[in-house]
A and B are shown apart, each in its own frame.
Chain A
Amino acid sequence: AQSVTQPDIHITVSEGASLELRCNYSYGATPYLFWYVQSPGQGLQLLLKYFSGDTLVQGIKGFEAEFKRSQSSFNLRKPSVHWSDAAEYFCAVGPSGGSYIPTFGRGTSLIVHP
């Protein structure tokens, strides 16, 4: 069965610093991978997705993620964090077999200090 691990429950960074959020997955084939962001009191918004092709994926709001098959990872990065990036971030792995339902990680809460 597919699974997603986000090892960090909380990450604290200073505004302007770089950011990397970790995501590891377990999946039987080439996965579909997603990063979502959830601001307080809001729904989830898709930041970026990987289906195939270039392993470095650009997303919205200046985020990028790199798919590394050898490490089963899909880490999210941003070179300079803004205070408005404070939110919950969820990694998800796409469905397998005949399913169409993704599996979400437990989320990482990003705290940004001024």
Chain B
Amino acid sequence: DAMVIQNPRYQVTQFGKPVTLSCSQTLNHNVMYWYQQKSSQAPKLLFHYYDKDFNNEADTPDNFQSRRPNTSFCFLDIRSPGLGDAAMYLCATSRKQVTPGEQFFGPGTRLTVL
């Protein structure tokens, strides 16, 4: 089945220690998104790629970076995690031209910062 995969499902890191979360998709979608979701809140968009074009949300901290080496993979790098970065990180994909706004989500990575 075509899907969005996130690894790892659970990540524990230390305060200030860089961490990378990964996302891969077999849907061949041209748009990939990274969301941060804290407890009992809606997902908050951090950034997204439309093909290779990177789009950063205005309020995304500089501590967060992303890479998309090819259509299938996208990475979220947190350079110096703080306690406030502990959250669920969701990767999503979509096909802009076909179904505007419909997104396909991965299972998420739960990040704990000690």
Contact = CB atoms under 8 A, between A and B. Distances in A.
Interface stretch (B61-69, B77-85, B103-111): B103-111
B24 interface: no
A103 to B, nearest CB: 9
B8 interface: no
Interface of B: 4, 6, 31, 33, 40-43, 45, 48, 50, 88, 90, 92, 94, 96, 99-108, 110
Interface string A25-62: 00000001010100001111110010100000000000
B100 A41 contact: no
Contacts of A107: 40-42
Nearest to B91: A43
Most buried by B among A34, A42, A100, A104: A100
A3 B99 CA distance: 19
B101 A90 contact: no
Contacts of A109: 40
B101 A34 contact: yes
Interface stretch (A15-23, A71-79, A91-99): A91-99
Contacts of A102: 101-103
Contacts of B90: 43-44
Interface residues of A, number: 25
Contact of B102 (A41, A49, A104): A49
23 contacts: A32-B100, A32-B102, A34-B102, A36-B105, A42-B107, A42-B108, A43-B92, A43-B107, A43-B108, A44-B105, A46-B103, A49-B102, A51-B99, A90-B43, A94-B100, A95-B100, A100-B94, A100-B100, A101-B45, A101-B48, A102-B102, A107-B42, A109-B40
A90 B42 contact: yes
A102 B31 CA distance: 13
Contacts of B45: 101
A100 B106 contact: no
A94 B107 CA distance: 22
Nearest to B106: A43
